[in-house]
Chain A
Amino acid sequence: MARNTGGNPKDLAFEKASALFAFAVLALTVLLFAVLLRESLPALRKFGASFVVDGAWDPVLEKFGALPFIYGTLVSSFLALLIAVPLSVGTAIFINEFAPPWLKTPVSLLAELLAAIPSVIYGLSGIFILVPILRDTFMKPLTKHLGWVPLFKGPVYGPSMLAAGVLLSIMIIPFILSVSREVLATVPQRQKEAVLSLGGTRWEMIRIVIGQHCLAGIFGATVLGLGRALGETMAVTMVIGNRPEISDSLFQQGYSMAAVIANEFAEADGLHLSSLILIGLLLMLVTLVVNLAAKWMLSRMVARASRGI
């Protein structure tokens, strides 16, 4: 390690000191995993694999199964993706290909601002703006006319899986959008010009180029958005309804992994606490895998783009 230090002891000391700080960051990460694993062991031993397939959550009877929370987290996150991905990709295409120059900066800046809003303010707006709008203009009419479809079954309360999904979608749009824009920007100008010079319209150019070039990257952006959505806590807690039930209907109240931790952790002890930490550990592992997958996909895409394929 003594390279380039020229024998100066202060240089060596500085390098070692900075390495020590870096080590502290590494140690904290290891400690995070170790501590969560240790504290979740009681629940892991007691319930084992049945923890993730058991639907009962009863702190009084000390019965803990995480299925309703896993279900709620997955459904609300996928619902969010369903809304956020088309909107983000569409906006990315608009900014990169169609928008007049004077509009590019404001639109992308405003979308970036969405990422700066604290989650609790999304939750607040969710409770008082989004939920009433969804309830009165969307959920109530749909239940009335299409109530026989399991997805739209009433009764309508307001706080619901749907509200959580819509709110989450707004929160993850800035992330998917910025990655999508980067992905679109990797398309070689020559290819775009080739399509246009053959007489293709802009839309045909986009269709061909995206189909050829960007699908993998957009998928990576989607997975990245999923990683964001899975762990989101406050906003979901405030609009999902917080009821540990599994329902077909998007209009019914649900619960999410992060939300149950937020609501019950401060008052929990013993096996209850351990079960909540186990939910946290599961959430962290899933998020980690999802994030790694996204990173892998995007780096592969970038590598391919830089080779010009």
Chain B
Amino acid sequence: MTGTIAFRRKAADRAMKWVFCLCAFLVVLPLFLIFFDLVIKGAKELRWSLLVDLPRPVGEPGGGIANGILGTIVITLLTMTWSVPVAVMSGIYLAEYGRGTFAAAVRFAVDTLTGVPSILMGIFAYILLVLPMKRFSAWAGAAALSMIFIPVVVRTTEEMLRTVPTSVREAALALGIARWKATLRITVRTAWPGILTGILLAMSRIIGETAPLLFTSLGNQFWQTKLDQPMAAMPLQVFTYAISPYEDWHDKAWAGALVLITMVLLINIAARALTREKR
């Protein structure tokens, strides 16, 4: 009798082990399916012209997504020019000075923003910039993206600065360095790899964001470098091509997605490698 119970318990143990193993398999399986198809279907259209040519109308062979690549780079850099200083300085404030109700309110705001669905940031930029300017623009797109970028980077900056031991700050102050200089030159510099990782991860996130751009930068068929005009972006192009009814546009969507994911993952992996090396 005891033998069967022991057997049953052991069998249950072994069975559950396989169930958990299966769970893990099912979790990573989609990743392989997605990448497999991205590479197989994306490679079909992946030619040099894809990276340097403008989109062509349906049915015309060739054509590329060059304006989308350029647009994504422009909008991303534009977003970061003001978002990085705002976010890093806010993070410094929260980590180095942030006590009391004001800091608590800022932290709550940052937490709130982090959870707001990204499409809401598009609405926000639409109301504040597109309606008054009466046109879709790269400015509005960048404004929407910065609402996603800033809270993430504020949080990581604060967390990274907190990992710097107090003794480091005290050592700097004991040497007679002014506090602001000690903060920038010693504390921030010590935490910098971590902060940079946060910035790069946020960057890789906004490069792939589509929803906030739908009605802010809108997209464009042509070259456009004026920031007050609608601008193309890779994720928008992938979306447009994917939901179109045309077979050759579907191929372009896959190729565009392959380029997009390559960019996103390269930055993502670089960001992670940065902190790993440090350890």
Contact = CB atoms under 8 A, between A and B. Distances in A.
Contact of A116 (B16, B121, B242, B264): B264
Contacts of A209: none
A24 B90 contact: yes
B13 A202 contact: yes
The size bracket of the interface on A is 35 or more
B204 interface: yes
Contacts of A202: 13, 17
A19 B250 contact: no
A170 interface: yes
Nearest to A258: B119
A261 interface: yes
Interface of B (DSSP majority class): helix
B211 A121 contact: no
Given A35-B127, A121-B261, A266-B218, A203 B13 contact: yes
Given A29-B112, A238-B242, A284-B116, A90 B23 contact: yes
B147 A18 contact: no
Contacts of A1: 97
A124 B244 CA distance: 11
B124 A32 contact: yes
B115 A14 contact: no
Interface stretch (A106-114, A211-219, A247-255, A301-309): A106-114
B120 A265 contact: no
B126 interface: yes
A114 B264 contact: no
Contacts of A142: none
A261 B235 CA distance: 17
A91 B178 contact: no
B248 interface: no
Nearest to B97: A15
A5 interface: yes
Nearest to B154: A25
B242 A124 contact: yes
Contacts of A35: 124, 127-128
Interface string A244-278: 00000000000000100110011000000000110
Interface of A: 1, 4-6, 8, 10-11, 13-15, 17-19, 21-26, 28-32, 35-36, 39, 86-91, 93-95, 97-99, 107, 110-111, 113-114, 116-125, 127-129, 170, 173, 177, 201-204, 206, 227, 230-234, 238, 258, 261-262, 265-266, 276-277, 280, 283-284, 287-288, 291, 295
Interface of B: 9-10, 12-13, 16-17, 19-24, 26-28, 30-31, 33-34, 37-38, 41, 85-87, 89-90, 92-94, 96-98, 102-103, 105-106, 109-113, 115-124, 126-128, 147, 150-151, 154, 178-180, 183, 204-205, 207-211, 214-215, 218, 235, 238-239, 242-243, 250, 253-254, 257, 260-261, 264-265, 268
Given A118-B209, A287-B116, 15 more contacts: A1-B97, A5-B179, A18-B89, A19-B93, A21-B89, A25-B106, A91-B27, A93-B20, A120-B257, A128-B37, A177-B27, A201-B9, A227-B115, A266-B215, A283-B120
